[in-house]
Amino acid sequence: MITRNTLSKSERLKSYTQIRHLFSKGEKLRSGDVLCYFVLAPAAEVPIQAGFSVAARLFRRAVDRNLIKRRLREAYRLNNGTLKAAIQTTSNQLQVFWIYVGQTIPMYDTIEQSVIALLAQLEKKSTPHE
């Protein structure tokens, strides 16, 4: 069976109250210049919801912020398959918020390495230990 690497509208974390809850109650992981907040919630229709952000204070031009967010989303979209499969075996929903905190515009490879490392850490933390 071929799985498609998608990031549909329902998989995006956009609710203000959910994002506030995520930052207040969630845990934090970091790899390189990528910061990741996450929280496990009771089961929902979508196993994983993700949000992406870049600080306007660090990157004044919206063009630069959008470029970095595009690279973050693409790295997440292409590499989240194993995490998605692991979450579907549990009866939880994972809400994740990705933030780029570096000072320079990164190359895609740099972001992808950080995202892959964080996805592996998320998979360990979100699945029950046997």
113 contacts: CB under 8 Å, gap ≥ 6 = 31, 32
Cα distances (angstroms) measured from residue 21 to each of 2, 35, 38, 82: 35, 17, 10, 25
- Residue spans per domain, the chain: 30-126
Phi then psi for residue 38, to 5 deg, are -150, 155
| Alpha-carbon span 81 to 106, nearest angstrom | 24
CATH architecture for the domain at 30-126: 2-Layer Sandwich (3.30)
List pLDDT tens digits, range 66-116.
999 999 999 999 999 888 888 888 878 899 999 999 999 999 999 999 999
Q: What is the pTM of this model?
A: 0.90
Residue 17 in this model has a pLDDT that exceeds 60: yes
The continuous run of DSSP H or E covering 115 comes out as helix 108-126
SS3 49: strand
Residue 44 in this model has a pLDDT that exceeds 80: no
Residue 59 in this model has a pLDDT that exceeds 80: yes
